[in-house]
Amino acid sequence: MYAHLYVSPHYDDAALSCGGRIHGQVRQGARVLVVTVCAAPPPPGTPVSAVAAQIHGDAGDGFVARRRAEDAEALRHLGADGRYLDVLDCIYRGSPGAWRYPSLSDVFGPPHPEDEDLVPALADVFDALLLQHPGSVLYAPLGHGGHVDHRIACRAAGRLLGRGRRVVFYEDYPYADETRPHPYGAGDGRLDVRFLAGLRPESVYLDAADVQARCASVAAYRSQIPALFGDAEEAARSIQEFARRRGGGRPAERYWVPEGR
């Protein structure tokens, strides 16, 4: 049975945002499952949008397989298991001439109307997982940075609060770092303050081993490091600095929990 279920919109989000806590939970004997939502590859040889082709670079059709392999390496550093949902990344949704997110500004904008059905569908998937693992806690992104897949995952998890499920929300790193520009130069990172009104912040302090494991797991996502940080050294420096700021000098990650919990 898993005690902790982390919703990762993409292959790297749980490690980027929660790697220290995940490692600490595993170190203390808990079983942790990272559920990657947008894990499905587009069918080989099918057209992709211009923004997807730009992100693929030289990897081409093998891009998602490369990311899956990076994720496996990252989760080994954290000691967590992985589960992958059959959902396409937003950059693959749609068809030639009718891509739902044809540019980066669209990716970091409001969800497309045709994606609205994803919210209740994912809510049911998350709910089923919680029922399969009684007593477990679901951790979901708050949606910093404005990526549509993060927003959809947040809204889906938010529905479970009304069902009495145990849900905790995490700050989407690196988008939540107010000292850094948006990695893709898009989106403003604003959150729905009405949603936050029912939550309170909670700091989780990390041991040096937890911070080190978080940095090592993030470094495994070699395809993402250049766009997010430039290089692995800068990634580690930024992660450690952000963690110290969140903990007032002592490394920490900040989470948001329902009032009264």
Tens digit of each residue's pLDDT (9 = 90 or more) over 47-74? 999 999 988 987 777 899 999 999 999 9
Q: Is 173 exposed, middle or buried (0-12, 13-18, 19+ CB in 10 A)?
A: buried
Q: Is 95 exposed, middle or buried (0-12, 13-18, 19+ CB in 10 A)?
A: exposed
Q: Which of 106, 134, 107, 129 is nearest to 34 (CA)?
A: 129
pLDDT tens-digit series, residues 210-251: 999 999 999 999 999 999 999 999 999 999 999 999 999 999
For residue 88, name the pLDDT band (cuts at 50, 70, 90): very high
Residue 16 pLDDT > 70: yes
pLDDT tens-digit series, residues 181-207: 888 776 555 566 667 778 999 999 999
* Residue 257 confidence (pLDDT): 96
Q: Best-predicted range by mean pLDDT among 42-56, 83-97, 177-191?
A: 83-97
* pTM for this model (two decimals): 0.95
Residue 26, H or E segment: helix 13-27
Task: Report in angstroms the alpha-carbon separations of 54 from 104, 140, 185, 246.
Answer: 10, 28, 15, 34
Residue 255, H or E segment: strand 252-258
Distance CA 78, CA 215 (A): 10
